[in-house]
Structure 1
């Protein structure tokens, strides 16, 4: 009973204090429940009695069950976060995850749209009714700001400075940041807010300040936002899949490809650690290599001709 209460307290902390997204908290819950089930089945006692060897045995068991290195890393991260929380709050006197590391393969590059693909998608959005104008404002702002899906879902009117085209965002861990947005998204946002949001709010009994609402005037959920993004992408005639984070990846990648410095991109994305942003330098470097290979291919061709 004590273990379960500890887990619930930790998950509450992640959701309400650290402000992790719903899906992130769900993943943490699943990972920690898997560990508890393993410990209960092996008869190793409570979470307080766990040793480093138990953590290693659990990860080994998960590997035998077919989990990928990426999933194993997430499980270890969930356990490390939980025990760090317990140690910091004097709920336990040791952290069994200390010194345990997984050797992972090459980090996967983020999935993103080219600039041409992104602009084609946004330019194909229909503008026939209030919901269309809401979608236009939503998608233009996602791309222009790189917001996380929950940051967009929680966005309120007081966080928008239309005169200066700035957003005041409270992100993960209650970290505040200021994010500018471009003229195109500014126009889309102004049109939606001044001409169409009130129309959607007519079906809502209680007034509120959330920016993006559904046809009943209620706050959009994160799942609702994902549905809007997927449907709009499908209707635009584009091939492939989309998720809101792919737009965020595109925002960061396009900034890097057009000369933005790493620190600025880190600040705009709200990354706590620079290492989280450095993944986009690999994308930028790959693009530069492609450009060099393409532009200087004539040298290779000429040298092959000389050799022949």
Structure 2
């Protein structure tokens, strides 16, 4: 049939010009066959007779059928490619899908650890070694302040004021912010500065970086990822689920779950929009539900 032939012509064109893999071409086919079937149900027998209304109605149908925003967006990309092929071949003089906006992807709440998991992670480093003191200070500081990992590894010694209990960091767009530090993190940083950092320093290698690698230079994001992965395994946390963002998320979710003001958390995280901070509110609600299920005698989930 003509509709299906148009799809196959597009796929042949893409295979020849863009050298797409067979699996990619099959993905396009899976997206487009339901679309042309829908057009046929609507009495449209040729793509040249379809309109923007047909495309918009199909996109709405996908959402009504429970398809995710990502699935709908991918289908629309395939449909646009089909119409672009028809325009290039001269069979159509306009693209009915051109100005149809794909649905916005749902904002998933950032993953946050519960307090017990955070405690196990923070207890994992061996503080009898200089590297362990450093790692303990880094983990405690991340959880205490919600810093991004890029901000953490960029810290210089003068950025942390142990006496006044705050850290100065540079956020996105060159915006500097001041974040308070809690007592546990302060103690860990003080221990590291006293007995960890001096032993990690290498003779003749001057640096003001706060957190030093075994080589004596500043810690990198990649190095910290490796450190975090090692301690996640030591703490018995699910492999692959813990990232530096997890501690930033836990910082925000735990504050919100305990009644912190959203605007204050927003400032500490360095978010430019309250909407970005609100995403952590869902994680906070889930954490409160876990606490309720574990503690309330009538929750029905206690063993």
> Quick check: 1:252 aligned with 2:252?
yes
User: Where do 5+ consecutive residues of structure 2 fail to align?
Assistant: 1-13, 19-24, 32-67, 74-97
Give, in whole Å, the separation in 2 of the partners of 1:220 and 1:72: 42
Q: For residue 169 of structure 1, what is the aligned residue in structure 2?
A: 169
Q: For residue 271 of structure 1, what is the aligned residue in structure 2?
A: 271
Q: 1:150 to 1:66 in 2, by over 3 A?
A: farther
Q: For residue 237 of structure 2, what is the aligned residue in structure 1?
A: 238
Give, in whole Å, the separation in 1 of the partners of 2:29 and 2:135: 42
Larger radius of gyration: 2
TM-score (norm 1): 0.62
Aligned residue for 1:278, secondary structure, equals: helix
Q: 1:218 to 1:292 in 2, by over 3 A?
A: closer
User: Offset at 1:253?
Assistant: 0.6
Q: Residue 165 of structure 1 contacts residue 186 of structure 1 at CA under 8 Å; is this kept in 2? A: yes
1:17-166 to 2 correspondence within 5 Å? 64=28, 101-166=101-166
Aligned residue for 1:169, secondary structure, equals: strand
Q: For residue 226 of structure 2, what is the aligned residue in structure 1?
A: 227
Q: 1:230 to 1:66 in 2, by over 3 A?
A: farther
Q: How many residues align?
A: 219
> Quick check: 1:212 aligned with 2:211?
yes
Q: Residue 156 of structure 2 contacts residue 208 of structure 2 at CA under 8 Å; is this kept in 1? A: yes
Give, in whole Å, the separation in 2 of the partners of 1:297 and 1:66: 50
Q: For residue 194 of structure 2, what is the aligned residue in structure 1?
A: 194
Give, in whole Å, the separation in 1 of the partners of 2:99 and 2:280: 29
Q: 1:245 to 1:290 in 2, by over 3 A?
A: closer
Aligned residue for 1:228, secondary structure, equals: helix
Q: For residue 284 of structure 2, what is the aligned residue in structure 1?
A: 284
Q: 1:264 to 1:134 in 2, by over 3 A?
A: same
User: Offset at 1:216?
Assistant: 1.5
TM-score (norm 2): 0.63
Q: Residue 112 of structure 2 contacts residue 283 of structure 2 at CA under 8 Å; is this kept in 1? A: no
Give, in whole Å, the separation in 1 of the partners of 2:135 and 2:183: 17
Q: Residue 161 of structure 2 contacts residue 167 of structure 2 at CA under 8 Å; is this kept in 1? A: yes
Q: Residue 262 of structure 1 contacts residue 277 of structure 1 at CA under 8 Å; is this kept in 2? A: yes
Give, in whole Å, the separation in 1 of the partners of 2:243 and 2:193: 25
Q: Residue 113 of structure 2 contacts residue 250 of structure 2 at CA under 8 Å; is this kept in 1? A: yes
Q: Residue 125 of structure 1 contacts residue 236 of structure 1 at CA under 8 Å; is this kept in 2? A: no
Give, in whole Å, the separation in 2 of the partners of 1:71 and 1:173: 32
Q: Residue 252 of structure 2 contacts residue 265 of structure 2 at CA under 8 Å; is this kept in 1? A: yes
Give, in whole Å, the separation in 2 of the partners of 1:107 and 1:166: 31
Q: What is the CA deviation profile of residues 156-179 of structure 1, one whole-angstrom value per residue up to 9, with x for unaligned ones?
A: 011111111101111111111110
Aligned residue for 2:167, secondary structure, equals: strand
Taking only aligned residues, the RMSD between alpha carbons, in angstroms, comes to 3.4
Aligned residue for 1:233, secondary structure, equals: helix
User: Where do 5+ consecutive residues of structure 1 fail to align?
Assistant: 1-37, 43-60, 74-97, 301-308
Q: For residue 305 of structure 1, what is the aligned residue in structure 2?
A: none
Give, in whole Å, the separation in 2 of the partners of 1:282 and 1:288: 10
